[in-house]
Amino acid sequence: MPRSPIHLALSPGDPFAAPPAGFAPAPPNAGAPQLRQDQDARTTAADAAVDRLPPRGAERLEALRTDVRTAEAVDHWPSIARQQDRLNAAKFARESYLDRAGPDADPREIKRMDAEITREQATLRTLQAQAKKVTASKNGVSELLHEVEKIVARGMIGADVEVNVPDGTTIESQRKVIADLYGGIDQVKRSWPPLEEVLADEKELHDRKAKAGAPDVECGVLDVGRGMRERLKFVVANHWPQHFDGSKSSFDSEAFIRWLAADQIWADAERQLRSRYENFSGLVLDDAEKANRLREMNDQLLEAERIEGELIWRAIGRGEAVTWRGGMSPRAALGVN
Residue 335 in contact with residue 163, Cβ under 8 Å?
yes
How far is 167 from 164, CA to CA, in rounded Å? 9
Q: Please tell me whether residue 336 adopts helix, strand or coil conformation.
A: strand
Q: How far is CA 76 from the centre of its chain?
A: 26
Tens digits of per-residue pLDDT, 56-95? 888 888 888 887 787 777 778 888 999 999 999 999 999 9
Query: Beta partners for 336?
Result: 160
At residue 11 the predicted structure's pLDDT band, cuts being 50, 70 and 90, is very low
Q: What pLDDT, in 10s, does the model give residues 129-170? A: 888 877 777 777 888 888 888 877 777 777 788 888 999 999
- pTM above threshold 0.75: no
Calpha distance 153→65 (Å, rounded)? 15
25: left (phi over 0), alpha (psi -120 to 50) or beta: beta
18 Cβ contact partners less than 8 Å away, ≥ 6 residues apart: none
**pLDDT tens digit string along 186-239?**
999 999 999 999 999 999 999 988 887 776 555 444 444 445 566 666 666 665
Could you tell me how many residues make up the chain?
337
Alpha carbon of residue 47 to chain centroid: 29
| Distance, CA of 166 to CA of 177 (rounded, Å) | 13
Amino acid symbol at 88: N
Number of C-beta neighbours around residue 302 at 10 A: 13
